[in-house]
Structure 1
């Protein structure tokens, strides 16, 4: 990605920088030990200008992720919310993907250095489809397991956790698939490399419970609410691998993925690639994210608030 695709500015440590100048030392703690935390957020084009989807919820989760590792962010939630709004406005994007991130800088020499500086940055860029929507993607159950929360806090959106995701995704791509589905250490279905998983059977929609090494995705929570509002029974539970192959539908959710149907797993067609429920929920989700459903208006933070007449 060329640096100009990041727009005019990246916010770093309270200052707007030209993207090519938003740099850090190669001796940063994060580079040597993986001590970083991040969020992925979308801003959508709406009739009232760009609106950021569940911005405060994402920033609050960033603070929780850091808290697991005793990292203190030197800003408040409200300050980072405002910085994000200002960044999108400054770059003039109608719709974009936003990446707030926290990382430890220097000194790096000690694994648990007390005086290591905490840096905070925010970048944004225009993003199309993470997965092509339509007929559904092809997935495989990965040979690598999802890391257990007895080993690392999997509710933290920590950079180090995504080495596990890279192994999952890389294996899937090398084997000719679009995505990987991980099992947890007990053999229960966990999630995809960077997305939560849902299984449809009849009028019931199931998703792995959080004790299956699942990140409590913000899009996951939104889809659970939308589905329940549409009359579906939504259950968080343990899901066995064999249930995947006989589901009525499988779909993934995430900020980048939005709602993506899975048509095939391990070369087995999932009910002929049916995606009725996934398409229904995707349509409602995008209406909510673009300001067309009043009942979900509280999920949106407008970059340029409407001026009262």
Structure 2
């Protein structure tokens, strides 16, 4: 990840990046007890717009509720969150597109393994919008590490500590010469990548694992499903077998930090002819436009 911009939001004010710290004795450090979201901010001249900001705030709310971080709901609402984002962007004044990572940390000191009633602190920082995966064709490897199931650490909550699972799987893929991993569940069904949702196209139908398949219910995933439906592309959300990826006409992934990136190889098998396909290319173009110029869905929030 690129270094953060110089001004960071922490608690209730802007501080210098090097001063944005939490205690080594906090639950956030001791247990990875934080939840987060990342959203893009588009820059057009002096104007800044955030993509699906209300949905990203809702993601933090829901992640806190799932994990039991109860003080967020009493201390934060969308208006306060929006004002903090506006202040953060206004102080940093990015001139190119950026990502903002917003995190709720449980900062109670040495509380033991509990969460309710514990003190929290919100942090937000800005960094350059550099994709975390290749944009011209990814090579994926199915991981020997299984996706954490919903009844262990639920994937629909973006819990910082749970990303050890993603680190193990992606590092294995990198060590093996691939760009990223494909997570499978305990039954061998496809879940997602280390930090992106996955889609395949077969017989002109867009297919993706459903939300009961130990996946993050991704905001960009939902965006792609909406755009596909508007384009008249048949969409199926269901259980997906690994071998379906091997014989797919197209495979691509989505996520805030991944964009809408094509996949050209899975486990040494070339996807179709090894080039990004027409459906993924069309949806990628529409997704990119939605991030910057959407006027139909109300997905853009002006930061002013």
The aligned residue for residue 302 of structure 1 is: 302
Q: CA deviation at 1:47?
A: 6.3
| SS of residue matched to 2:199 | strand
d(CA) in 1 for partners of 2:134, 2:109: 43
* TM-score normalized with structure 1 length: 0.92
The aligned residue for residue 9 of structure 1 is: 7
The aligned residue for residue 30 of structure 1 is: 28
The aligned residue for residue 88 of structure 1 is: 89
What is the aligned-residue RMSD (CA, Å)? Answer: 1.6
* TM-score normalized with structure 2 length: 0.94
Deviation per residue, 1:194-230 (Å, 9 max, x gap): 0000010122000001111011000000011011111
Q: CA deviation at 1:116?
A: 3.2
1:227-246 matches, cutoff 5 A: 227-246=228-247
Q: CA deviation at 1:113?
A: 6.1
Task: Indicate conservation of the 8 Å contact 2:6/2:17, yes or no.
Answer: yes
The aligned residue for residue 196 of structure 2 is: 195
Task: Indicate conservation of the 8 Å contact 1:108/1:116, yes or no.
Answer: no
d(CA) in 2 for partners of 1:76, 1:207: 32
| SS of residue matched to 1:43 | strand
| SS of residue matched to 2:160 | coil
The aligned residue for residue 164 of structure 1 is: 165
The aligned residue for residue 108 of structure 1 is: 110
Structure 1 pair 202–113 and aligned structure 2 pair: CA distance change class (3 A): closer
Q: CA deviation at 1:46?
A: 3.5
Aligned length: 299
1:261-280 matches, cutoff 5 A: 261-275=262-276, 276-280=278-282
Moved over 4 A (4+): none
After TM superposition, the structure 1 stretch with the greater mean CA deviation from structure 2, 56-65 or 271-280, is 271-280
Deviation per residue, 1:14-48 (Å, 9 max, x gap): 11101111122111111111111000111112367
d(CA) in 2 for partners of 1:24, 1:294: 39
**Residue 223 of structure 2 is aligned to residue 225 of structure 1:** no
After TM superposition, the structure 1 stretch with the greater mean CA deviation from structure 2, 249-258 or 40-49, is 40-49
| SS of residue matched to 1:189 | coil
Q: CA deviation at 1:282?
A: 1.2
Gaps in structure 1 of 5+ consecutive residues? 305-309
d(CA) in 1 for partners of 2:231, 2:264: 23
